[in-house]
């Protein structure tokens, strides 16, 4: 049996959550990440025996039998690289999503993030759109969070503002950004609302809280959030100033055509 700490998915997960902390996106125990894993890639590192079973508090029949690497509840991202087995866990969804079978990790008796329902609901929603989706990432980027205090929360207007801040934005997230008004976190209700919005975009902003991102791998998902956060930072630097120049819709269309991406329908003016 190979050492699981040498597994590519493990080294990449540790590196990514450390980078998220270093970016200032995951203060204290804020934020969470889940990565879908193929059981075949786990069998080289685990005997797949169940350590214990943990109720999830909801159902996700479409994910039955799926395995996930998930950050733990109450865990600090800054500590993951020093003790992955305490701060991360690998679970297998069973009983139509109502149970998580712990296969590795949470060595101090802990469990998965309290946002697991929102994660699994988003995984299920994105898999219907893109079967290659593997990652759900939640964090608290300061500029995107700040933007929700001073900008309209209309998803179209929010997206257009971000697209206009950086030339690359419409290329990186042509599907735009969806925005939820403030909701109580850690509930099935916010998970359901997020999953519904994941059907039309890979980024969902939680107003006055943070952002959810989905992607095929950690690099794609991290890059989506990183790009949107950079655009929000630029917006905050200039929001109080008269705008003499901007990226016009005609220029956004040029970018989309040149890089062969399809902007979200109805988000550009005629």
Cite the active site residues: 115
As given in the structure block, the two tokens for residue 30 are: 């804020």
Residues 69 and 13 sit within 8 Å (Cβ to Cβ): yes
Q: How far apart are CA 163 and CA 263, in angstroms?
A: 10
Nearest by Cα to 44 from 79, 7, 80:
7
The answer to whether residues 191 and 117 touch, using CB atoms and an 8 Å cutoff, is yes
Adjacency order of strands within the sheet including 99-105: 52-55, 99-105, 88-94, 67-71, 32-37, 135-139, 210-215, 203-206, 177-180
């Amino acid at each position: 049996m190979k050492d699981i700490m040498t597994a590519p998915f493990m080294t990449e997960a540790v590196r990514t959550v450390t980078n998220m902390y270093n970016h200032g996106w995951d203060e204290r125990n804020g934020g969470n990440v889940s990565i879908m894993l193929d059981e075949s890639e786990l069998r080289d590192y685990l005997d797949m025996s169940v350590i214990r079973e943990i109720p999830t508090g909801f159902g996700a029949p479409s994910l039955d039998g799926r395995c996930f690497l998930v950050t733990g509840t109450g865990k600090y991202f800054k500590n993951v690289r020093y003790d992955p087995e305490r701060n991360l866990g690998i679970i297998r969804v069973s009983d139509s999503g109502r149970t998580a079978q712990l296969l590795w990790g949470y060595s101090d008796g802990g469990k998965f993030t309290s946002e697991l329902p929102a994660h699994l609901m988003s995984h299920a929603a994105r898999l219907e759109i893109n079967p290659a989706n593997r990652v759900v990432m939640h964090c608290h980027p300061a500029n995107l969070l700040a933007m929700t205090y001073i900008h309209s929360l209309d998803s179209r207007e929010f997206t257009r503002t971000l697209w206009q801040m950086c030339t690359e934005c419409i290329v990186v997230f042509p599907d735009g950004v969806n925005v939820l008004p403030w909701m109580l976190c850690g509930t099935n209700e916010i998970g359901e609302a997020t999953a519904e919005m994941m059907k039309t975009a890979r980024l969902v902003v939680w107003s006055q809280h943070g952002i959810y991102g989905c992607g095929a791998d950690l690099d794609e998902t991290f890059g989506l959030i990183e790009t949107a956060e950079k655009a929000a930072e630029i917006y905050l630097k200039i929001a109080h100033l008269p705008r003499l120049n901007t990226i016009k819709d005609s220029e956004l269309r040029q970018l989309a055509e040149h890089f062969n991406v399809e902007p979200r329908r109805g988000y550009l003016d005629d």
